[in-house]
Amino acid sequence: MKRYFTLFFIFIFSTNVVFSATFSTIKGTVKDAQTKEELIGASIWIKEQKTGTVTGLDGSFHLQLNQFPVTLVYSYIGYVSQEIIIENSKQTTLNILLMPNAQQLEGVVIRAESVRNTDIGARTIERNALNVMNVVSARSIEISPDMTVANVIQRMSGVVMERDNSGDGQYALLRGMDKRFNYTLVNGVKIPSPDNKNRFVPLDIFPSELLDRLEVTKALTADMEGDGIGGAINMVMKDAPSDLQVTANLSTSVNSQFFSRDFQTFNHSAIDRQSPDGKYGLGFPSDMSHFTTKNLRVTEKSSLPMGIAGGFSAGGRVFKDKLGIVVASSYSNAYRGNTSDVYGIVGSSGSQHITNRFFSTEQTRLGTHAKFDLRLNKNHKLMWYNAYMDFQNKQVRDAIGGSTQVRTSQTVRMRWNHQSILTSTLKGDHHFLNNKLCFNWSLAYGRAFNETPDNTTIRLNVMGDEVSAYATGVATRRWEENSDNDKAVYANLIYFTRIGAVNVEWSTGVVLRDKQRESLFYEYKFRPASSTPQLKGEDWNHFDEIKMDLETISLLDPLNYDASEKINASYIQSKITLSKLQMIAGLRMEHTRQGYDLRFPLGGDTKPIGFQEYYSWLPSFHTRYELDRNTNLRFSYVKAINRPSFFEIVPYMKEFEDYREVGNPELRHTVADNFDLRYEYFPRSSEQIMVGVFYKYIKDPIEYGMAETGRGANYMPDNLGNANNLGIEMDVTRYFRKFGVKANYTFTHSRIVQPKWLEIDNPNPYAEHSRIIIGKNQYRQLFGQAAHVANISLLYRDMENGWNGQIAFSYTSKRLVDISRWYNEDIWQDGFIRLDASIEKTFPKIRLTVFAKASNLLNTPMYLYLDPNNPKDERFDNYARRKGGRIERIEHYGVNILIGLKYKL
């Protein structure tokens, strides 16, 4: 792989055009006349020579002129073109200011809005924002090797991605805080997640080409919802451009895992979407005849599975530019592979038990977005955004277990998961009293749906070459479904006053949200129909041919529940602007009433109905001081909370192969004090250098770990202590004409004290119990937190020849992924380096771009290992180890390669 990487570099450098010195050279920059921002990709056309160039990543250009006088035409989308005549070769530098393309519309000047989605726009937002935030522009998303929002966001400072088992990032961890501590917005509105465990949507369901920009806010203001201790991610979807814009792309992809093994799949369309009890009513006397087996046949594709993806977007304005319409649609179908080796005990024979899991995943995503904005007049604007997203994940997990010498079991899971999100937001923005009073509101409706019908696991016994179905528990089939309905109202009132030389902006607002969730769960267990083993090859060849009987039905499972959450929030905030100093102080109140209602009350101590109700008072204070025009100093303090997810407080219990997971009705919400200090320097408008420190005191963070309850260990969300979190972050963006470097690094130190258990020899030799367990405090970092996170992207852009390239490195140091009740027995995910690259070549005449993107080029394995200081580990011989710790599992994801075409009108 390193070889390819070297080649890539050579390729990039060799395409760098070497200039001829025989001509007179003129160089300069092109900037926005109003903001003085450099314009990237502005064209400079030499009328007489019929050639031209475009500005580079730093807004600069070089031209060779061989005759005088010449006429240079400067143009850029959304700006008024300019012609400049160069009389002679004496002039070598030329800095041009372009005026934005202003349009007269009923006496209103509307500035073209295509500016914010550029890098410069992004830097401008960051720079002018009063709170700590980072922005990625659509343009940098477009040229990055990233296919989904999830890939994009991991290039931002202080962001780590949590990957699913096909290696794709799904959730962002901001500043080393677990994903649960940040929230996701679409156009400023929360949308419900179909995911059972997470309040917020996975980022990989958003295709990156729909994005206008991505804003990551790390310190909340009082007008933002308060449940983002780590921060908030806002995906701003594309707006209607003033000129008609049409883009389309088509690509195909492969995963390197399937170069060497077959892709396994099954017929998910044969799945009964409803279980017998769901179909006919609870308590239906079902038997084997009510279950189809057509979906249980696993087939292998020996040819390399090729994914396909396409996207289309069109936007423009009609009715004298009053109504803007953007529609975008994307579809992708990708094949992902993952091999996971789960390490178990070393048996008495001295060989270790390893379960080798082979995942074959087919992901299908469909996203459709429609955004309308209506500019009624200069004071009133309406926006209506609709999106429907559909995500399907079909996976076969084939696992072979046993010691390395003697394989004893095969477990095959066939799972088809389907999620969809429908969201519709109507927004209004109104200005009164000559813009002194603003009122904006949003009505949001969201519906999220998640189903995993007939999730089947087949368990077989392996002895040598003999595979058989016998004894109890040959199959488990689960039907899971949950749907969420979210209704929300947002309203804000802003009033601008001027007291002497001080501008004061007063604002107040409310959020009312009502969320309802319905969750269904049915589980059926099957035993072999015969008491003698059914042998593969003799009695059956495919799983659908195994004869089985229904053994148990789990009907009244606590996973059948309704959950609700009502949030009423309001705030007041004032923003004071002196010449160089800006301050925002605000107070937010959030009232939470979160509850569940089990459909089938269980006996015992389980409460059939439970709710948590509390008020949170969340003060915030932000200040920004302009040291000079290009330098800011910021400080902020914010109090924020984190609520348990809807699922976590339900007293459910869910069985997995290796462990049992339970809910925790006693789980408390987290409250955190956040302090931020940041220094920013913007050498040029598209560039920045930023250094920040932050500190958080986190009371009752919610973490996941194994809680021993008597004889078994349950995987459970819990409040394990209070944490201190201290960090430094640095972010540098620099451009050198055709090259750009973006680098960021975040160091986070967190500490939490957790009382744990330690097994020791009884110091009293006369005691009955020779081995005892004592309590011992463990100092450790927060769940999911990485101490070091670094990203470096190298950009190359040759506008004249239409080349774009990017290499992105990311490093995440080890982080805690499973917290044990036992001293020094936590499980770590080892640090890893990831390398992604992309290259594209544009052919402007035919408006086509050819691109190739590769992710996970190093095929970096993921290691999970037990704490090397595990006191029990010393005794263990013959165990596979990583950094001295006993390996729990190793996962390989393969390299994903994508090649495609883009069209832009």
Partner 1 sequence: MKKLLAMAALCAVVITGCKKDKDNLEDLAGLKLSNPKNMIKPAETLSLNVEFFPSNARDKSLTWLTSDASVATVTDGKITAGSKEGFAVVTATSVSNPTISATFTVAVSSTDMVIMSGNVEGTWAKGTTVLINDQIKVPAGKKLFVEEGVTIIVQNGPVGASQAHIEFFVDGSLYLQGTKENPILVTVPAPMRDPAANKYVGLWGGFVGSQIFEEMLFNYVTIEYTGAVTVAASQSAAAGIIEKVGNRTSAILTDNPKGKVVVMHSTIRYAESDAIYFMGCEAIVAHNIIHTVGATDNDGINTKAGVKIDIAYNLMFGVNSNGLKLNSKGQSIDRYQSIKCVYNNTIVNSGWRRTKNLKGGSIFIQQNASAYVFNNLLLNCKLVTKTPELDNPSPDAGACHSTFVGYNFYASGSQTWTGANPPGTPNIPTAFFGYTQYTDDDIWHDWSNYPAAFPKIDQTSLFAASAGAPDPNFVNFGFNTVPLGEDMFDPTWDFRVNSASSPIIAGVGDKKPRTQFTERFAPYFAVNGLRMNGVEYKSPLPKAQYGAHGVR
> Which residues, 797 to 856, sit near partner 1 by CB under 8 A?
821
42 near 118, Cβ under 8 Å?
Answer: no
740 near 797, Cβ under 8 Å?
Answer: yes
Q: Which of 94, 102, 773, 880 lies at the binding interface for partner 1 (CB under 8 A)? A: 773
> Which residue, 339 or 424, has its beta carbon nearer to partner 1?
424
Q: Which of 18, 768, 779, 845 lies at the binding interface for partner 1 (CB under 8 A)? A: 768
> Which residue, 16 or 472, has its beta carbon nearer to partner 1?
472
C-beta of 316: minimal distance to partner 1 in Å?
A: 5
C-beta of 862: minimal distance to partner 1 in Å?
A: 24
Interface region with partner 1, contact rule CB under 8 A, candidates 283-291, 697-705, 722-730, 854-862: 283-291
Helix (H) or strand (E) holding 8: helix 2-14
309 near 330, Cβ under 8 Å?
Answer: yes
Interface region with partner 1, contact rule CB under 8 A, candidates 45-53, 333-341, 550-558, 857-865: 550-558
Contacts with partner 1, 641-680, as mask; x by CB under 8 A: ------------x-x----x-x------------------
Q: Which of 377, 709, 764, 777 lies at the binding interface for partner 1 (CB under 8 A)? A: 709
Instruction: Report d(CA 551, CA 555) in Å as an integer.
Output: 13
142 near 853, Cβ under 8 Å?
Answer: no
C-beta of 286: minimal distance to partner 1 in Å?
A: 7
**Contacts of residue 768, Cβ cutoff 8 Å, sequence gap at least 6:** none
Interacting residues with partner 1 between 64 and 123 (CB under 8 A): none
- Start-to-end CA distance of the chain, whole Å, equals 36
817 near 782, Cβ under 8 Å?
Answer: no
Q: Which of 578, 774, 899, 905 lies at the binding interface for partner 1 (CB under 8 A)? A: 774
Q: Which of 5, 68, 284, 637 lies at the binding interface for partner 1 (CB under 8 A)? A: 284
464 binds partner 1 (CB under 8 A): yes
> Which residue, 666 or 708, has its beta carbon nearer to partner 1?
708
Instruction: Report d(CA 745, CA 791) in Å as an integer.
Output: 6
325 near 315, Cβ under 8 Å?
Answer: yes
Q: Which of 182, 264, 468, 573 lies at the binding interface for partner 1 (CB under 8 A)? A: 468
> Which residue, 427 or 684, has its beta carbon nearer to partner 1?
427
**Contacts of residue 51, Cβ cutoff 8 Å, sequence gap at least 6:** 45
Nearest to 663 by CA among 594, 607, 716, 708: 716
CA distances from 687 to 58, 741, 791 (A): 8, 10, 16
Q: Which of 304, 502, 759, 869 lies at the binding interface for partner 1 (CB under 8 A)? A: 759
- For residue 644, cis peptide bond before it (omega within 30 degrees of 0): no
DSSP secondary structure letter of residue 143: H
Q: Which of 430, 566, 751, 872 lies at the binding interface for partner 1 (CB under 8 A)? A: 872
Q: Which of 93, 348, 434, 579 lies at the binding interface for partner 1 (CB under 8 A)? A: 348
| 755: β partners | 777
C-beta of 820: minimal distance to partner 1 in Å?
A: 12
Contacts with partner 1, 352-391, as mask; x by CB under 8 A: ----------------xxx-x-------------x-x---
Interface region with partner 1, contact rule CB under 8 A, candidates 164-172, 211-219, 348-356, 426-434: 348-356
Interface region with partner 1, contact rule CB under 8 A, candidates 59-67, 346-354, 742-750, 851-859: 346-354
> Which residue, 663 or 692, has its beta carbon nearer to partner 1?
663
Interacting residues with partner 1 between 233 and 272 (CB under 8 A): 244
C-beta of 202: minimal distance to partner 1 in Å?
A: 20
Interface region with partner 1, contact rule CB under 8 A, candidates 117-125, 669-677, 762-770, 783-791: 762-770
Q: Which of 485, 554, 570, 623 lies at the binding interface for partner 1 (CB under 8 A)? A: 554
602 binds partner 1 (CB under 8 A): yes
Instruction: Report d(CA 357, CA 398) in Å as an integer.
Output: 6
Burial class of 480 by CB neighbour count within 10 A (0 to 12, 13 to 18, 19+) = buried
Interface region with partner 1, contact rule CB under 8 A, candidates 64-72, 200-208, 598-606, 726-734: 598-606
> Which residue, 556 or 730, has its beta carbon nearer to partner 1?
556
**Contacts of residue 281, Cβ cutoff 8 Å, sequence gap at least 6:** none
Interacting residues with partner 1 between 2 and 61 (CB under 8 A): none
Interacting residues with partner 1 between 151 and 190 (CB under 8 A): none
Instruction: Report d(CA 453, CA 277) in Å as an integer.
Output: 12
Placement of tokens 């986070």 in the chain: 748
901 binds partner 1 (CB under 8 A): no
Reading across the β-sheet that carries 70-75, which strands appear in turn?
51-54, 43-46, 70-75, 82-86
Reading across the β-sheet that carries 712-719, which strands appear in turn?
653-655, 660-662, 712-719, 702-709
- φ, ψ dihedrals at 115, nearest 5°: -90, -35
Q: Which of 93, 269, 579, 604 lies at the binding interface for partner 1 (CB under 8 A)? A: 604
C-beta of 388: minimal distance to partner 1 in Å?
A: 6
Placement of tokens 């080796």 in the chain: 341
C-beta of 710: minimal distance to partner 1 in Å?
A: 6
> Which residue, 345 or 502, has its beta carbon nearer to partner 1?
345
Around Cβ 743, how many Cβ atoms within 10 Å? 18
Helix (H) or strand (E) holding 126: helix 119-128
Helices (H), 15-99: none
Interface region with partner 1, contact rule CB under 8 A, candidates 609-617, 709-717, 789-797, 852-860: 709-717
Burial class of 151 by CB neighbour count within 10 A (0 to 12, 13 to 18, 19+) = buried
C-beta of 353: minimal distance to partner 1 in Å?
A: 12
Interface region with partner 1, contact rule CB under 8 A, candidates 539-547, 671-679, 792-800, 870-878: 870-878
710 binds partner 1 (CB under 8 A): yes
Interacting residues with partner 1 between 286 and 325 (CB under 8 A): 286, 290, 314-316, 318, 325
Q: For the chain, give the number of residues.
A: 905
Around Cβ 845, how many Cβ atoms within 10 Å? 7
C-beta of 340: minimal distance to partner 1 in Å?
A: 21
Judged by CB under 8 A, how many residues of this single chain contact partner 1? 84
Q: Which of 83, 300, 466, 538 lies at the binding interface for partner 1 (CB under 8 A)? A: 466
| 869: β partners | none
SS3 content of the chain, % helix, strand, coil (to 5): 10, 60, 30
Interacting residues with partner 1 between 385 and 424 (CB under 8 A): 386, 388, 406, 408, 422, 424
Q: Which of 33, 102, 556, 792 lies at the binding interface for partner 1 (CB under 8 A)? A: 556
Interface region with partner 1, contact rule CB under 8 A, candidates 116-124, 494-502, 557-565, 581-589: 557-565
C-beta of 654: minimal distance to partner 1 in Å?
A: 9
Give the burial string for 126-140 (b: 16+ CB within 10 Å, else e): bbebbbbbbbbbbbb
| 690: β partners | 680, 731
568 binds partner 1 (CB under 8 A): no
CA distances from 288 to 274, 283, 285, 550, 809 (A): 15, 15, 10, 6, 52
Interacting residues with partner 1 between 523 and 542 (CB under 8 A): 523, 525, 532-533
DSSP secondary structure letter of residue 191: -
Give the E-state strand segments of 403-471 in sequence order: 407-432, 437-463, 466-469
> Which residue, 114 or 137, has its beta carbon nearer to partner 1?
114
C-beta of 460: minimal distance to partner 1 in Å?
A: 11
